[in-house]
Chain A
């Protein structure tokens, strides 16, 4: 399944996890990756609306019992040699960033930078084979090297012994983390409910609505609330307490966010009552989630 609506790095990590024996889709990426939440960078251009996590793929990997090992090679040449060593020894892909080529990658361009993340599984002297958003590609080595963007010394690998955490543990740990982040937010940057309220307060002041939209639709639209509803449905049996209508609540939230997206796409101003409605619904969803994660085990 091509997850074109998710950030490129998510697909790169998905590929790496799949090689290690864990197949995750968009619903799992979002739920286990701490996607439920809110992050707002006021004044950033383009506007960045984010997930509940500062590093969703690190969250996903660690919650599942794996690890994302961020490598800092001495220079780009050492990075290439070390990546080759890793590929030969571990037979698992390496994750690198590439500048987008303005062509077929354009549709998957990351929101805030002209770069994408890919999962390299073969690094020969003349050619590089990698996976980008579900499709396998090849590049001439020199062309690939030229496209290494950002800090070319940097690369990452997902580490695992191919045994993963118990699903119940994984679900509860990620929900607890999401509830905490949505409640507390981050110091020095806007996250969680405080960020949501500020974003709505500033929305009428002429933000770049197209960028806002792009950020929101990167999660498949609805700021990922529909994905989260599916996550709750999928793992209902692993939750410590029941709230049968909670998934439906997040589906309604998904619709509310899509309404906002539609209004913004028409370059109109969302109705203040609609924003209040979303804010109340987000707060209610958060409170109901908190009751679930704080409940002691009542079901076996």
Chain B
């Protein structure tokens, strides 16, 4: 059998997780000798955030409990370099993936979650929630059967899938959200990693800046404020047929679609607990409890949205004044928690 016909399957330990990006990065970095929990990946990668904007070409809102580029932020913080690559021809792009697979190791790809085999079905992923930022890891290739070995965060183990199915999921232009067109990532690692404490501090400080000084009003604290101030008013601004669909997709994004529940705040609470132990910072441990409570409130908002998705006059869109109290108090709690986190981070300089 020639080299070109040889089946390649890396000795890669795949663990399921709560979110596609943090799970993929956790497993990828472990392969390369750095053990980080999924929660550490989230916190170091700047996972405390918020996104609220209109989808591409679709009159619906993208609501997401964190901001973007977690994989790149995480790579930087651990001293690595992650670069987005692509080619309009999937065969050429795939050759790039294979080159990376052979030279470096497992390869991170962007796919459309609603088109991923098994994942799209198991999540009952809503069409309007289709997006091209779903991360998977390629760990093998069988040139004889033309199948790729793929790890997806929800799958209990790696799966071999026909390359045609992967190519189908590798393009996302019809959904309202992020686009992907044969996107994959090239990874360059440091010969040795920085100290974990330095990694965590770098991650937290970068995250805080992005959260409090976002690029624009669609991210960070600005987005949080816009969403929590405006969501109960969707019943007045969205047509009835879209209102329920919007409520459902937002519920999925906040609670069950890879956020670890509670708009990523539950995961972030666990990150803070770990960070507190690594850094010897008791205040981070105290903040862990604060974020856990914020997570509970986000889950409450998500549950109300789920009710609204079944009946647009119930749940968050009912006339219950407690709804506005909930969202108002949630915004206040988020701001206070951020201030406390900033106070801790400022001591590090």
A residues bordering B, Cβ < 8 Å?
54-55, 62, 65, 67, 70, 72, 74-75, 153, 159-161, 163, 165-166, 168-169, 172-173, 176-177, 180-181, 183-189, 191-192, 194, 240, 297
Across the interface, name the chain A residue whose C-beta is closest to B180. A72
Write the nearest CB–CB distance from A59 to chain B, whole angstroms. 9
Of A72, A169, A185, A194, the contact of B84 (CB 8 Å cutoff): A72
A interface footprint on B191-207 (CB within 8 Å = 1, 0 otherwise): 11110001000100110
Q: Is B236 an interface residue (CB 8 A)?
A: no
Write the nearest CB–CB distance from A173 to chain B, whole angstroms. 7
Which chain B residues in 12-56 approach chain A with CB under 8 Å?
Answer: none
Tell whether, in the assembled complex, residue B215 and residue A67 are in contact, meaning their CB atoms are under 8 Å apart.
Answer: yes
Say whether, besides A55-B81, A168-B349, A184 and B103 are in contact (CB < 8 Å). no
Q: Which residues of B contact A191 (CB under 8 A)?
A: 191
Q: Which residues of B contact A169 (CB under 8 A)?
A: 205, 349
Q: A193–B188 Cα gap in the complex (Å)?
A: 18
Interface of A is mostly: mixed
Tell whether, in the assembled complex, residue B349 and residue A70 are in contact, meaning their CB atoms are under 8 Å apart.
Answer: no
Tell whether, in the assembled complex, residue A176 and residue B198 are in contact, meaning their CB atoms are under 8 Å apart.
Answer: yes
Across the interface, name the chain B residue whose C-beta is closest to A75. B88
Of A172, A186, A240, the contact of B190 (CB 8 Å cutoff): A186
Tell whether, in the assembled complex, residue B198 and residue A187 are in contact, meaning their CB atoms are under 8 Å apart.
Answer: no
Q: Which residues of A contact B88 (CB under 8 A)?
A: 74-75, 153
Q: Which residues of A contact B183 (CB under 8 A)?
A: 72
Q: Is B104 an interface residue (CB 8 A)?
A: yes
Tell whether, in the assembled complex, residue A72 and residue B181 are in contact, meaning their CB atoms are under 8 Å apart.
Answer: yes
Q: Which residues of B contact A194 (CB under 8 A)?
A: 191
Q: Which residues of B contact A176 (CB under 8 A)?
A: 194, 198, 202
Tell whether, in the assembled complex, residue B191 and residue A185 are in contact, meaning their CB atoms are under 8 Å apart.
Answer: yes
Tell whether, in the assembled complex, residue A186 and residue B76 are in contact, meaning their CB atoms are under 8 Å apart.
Answer: no
Q: Which of B83, B86, B181, B191 has the most chain A CB atoms inside 10 A of its CB?
A: B191
Of B76, B192, B209, the contact of A184 (CB 8 Å cutoff): B192
Q: A181–B81 Cα gap in the complex (Å)?
A: 11
Across the interface, name the chain A residue whose C-beta is closest to B206. A62
Q: A86–B198 Cα gap in the complex (Å)?
A: 36
Tell whether, in the assembled complex, residue A187 and residue B181 are in contact, meaning their CB atoms are under 8 Å apart.
Answer: no
Q: A264–B304 Cα gap in the complex (Å)?
A: 73
Q: Which residues of A contact B188 (CB under 8 A)?
A: 54, 186-189
27 contacts between A and B (CB under 8 A): A62-B206, A65-B209, A67-B69, A72-B84, A72-B86, A72-B181, A74-B88, A74-B173, A153-B86, A153-B88, A159-B215, A161-B213, A161-B215, A172-B349, A173-B205, A180-B194, A184-B79, A184-B190, A184-B192, A184-B193, A186-B189, A187-B188, A187-B189, A188-B103, A188-B188, A188-B189, A240-B349
Q: Which residues of A contact B69 (CB under 8 A)?
A: 67
Q: Which residues of B contact A72 (CB under 8 A)?
A: 84, 86, 181, 183
Q: A67–B103 Cα gap in the complex (Å)?
A: 28
Q: Is B214 an interface residue (CB 8 A)?
A: yes
Write the nearest CB–CB distance from A243 to chain B, whole angstroms. 18
Q: A168–B104 Cα gap in the complex (Å)?
A: 36
A interface footprint on B74-114 (CB within 8 Å = 1, 0 otherwise): 00100101011010100000000000000110000000000
Across the interface, name the chain B residue whose C-beta is closest to A71. B84
Q: A38–B183 Cα gap in the complex (Å)?
A: 30
Across the interface, name the chain B residue whose C-beta is closest to A70. B84
- Enumerate the 8 nearest inter-chain pairs by beta-carbon distance, A residue then B residue, closest first: A184-B192, A72-B86, A187-B189, A185-B191, A184-B190, A184-B191, A54-B81, A163-B213
Across the interface, name the chain B residue whose C-beta is closest to A297. B349
Q: Which residues of B contact A297 (CB under 8 A)?
A: 349
Q: Which residues of B contact A186 (CB under 8 A)?
A: 188-191
Tell whether, in the assembled complex, residue A181 and residue B181 are in contact, meaning their CB atoms are under 8 Å apart.
Answer: no
Tell whether, in the assembled complex, residue B191 and residue A74 are in contact, meaning their CB atoms are under 8 Å apart.
Answer: no
Q: A267–B83 Cα gap in the complex (Å)?
A: 38
Q: A166–B212 Cα gap in the complex (Å)?
A: 13
Tell whether, in the assembled complex, residue A185 and residue B190 are in contact, meaning their CB atoms are under 8 Å apart.
Answer: yes
Q: A70–B205 Cα gap in the complex (Å)?
A: 23
Q: Is B216 an interface residue (CB 8 A)?
A: yes
Say whether, besides A72-B183, A75-B88, A172-B349, A187 and B215 are in contact (CB < 8 Å). no
Say whether, besides A70-B84, A74-B88, A165-B209, A181 and B215 are in contact (CB < 8 Å). no
Of B205, B216, B349, the contact of A161 (CB 8 Å cutoff): B216
Q: A65–B103 Cα gap in the complex (Å)?
A: 32
Across the interface, name the chain B residue whose C-beta is closest to A189. B188
Q: A32–B183 Cα gap in the complex (Å)?
A: 29
Q: Which residues of A contact B209 (CB under 8 A)?
A: 65, 165
Write the nearest CB–CB distance from B313 to chain A, whole angstroms. 38
Q: A240–B209 Cα gap in the complex (Å)?
A: 21
Write the nearest CB–CB distance from B285 to chain A, whole angstroms. 21
Say whether, besides A65-B213, A297-B349, A180 and B190 are in contact (CB < 8 Å). yes
Q: A191–B215 Cα gap in the complex (Å)?
A: 33
Tell whether, in the assembled complex, residue B189 and residue A160 are in contact, meaning their CB atoms are under 8 Å apart.
Answer: no
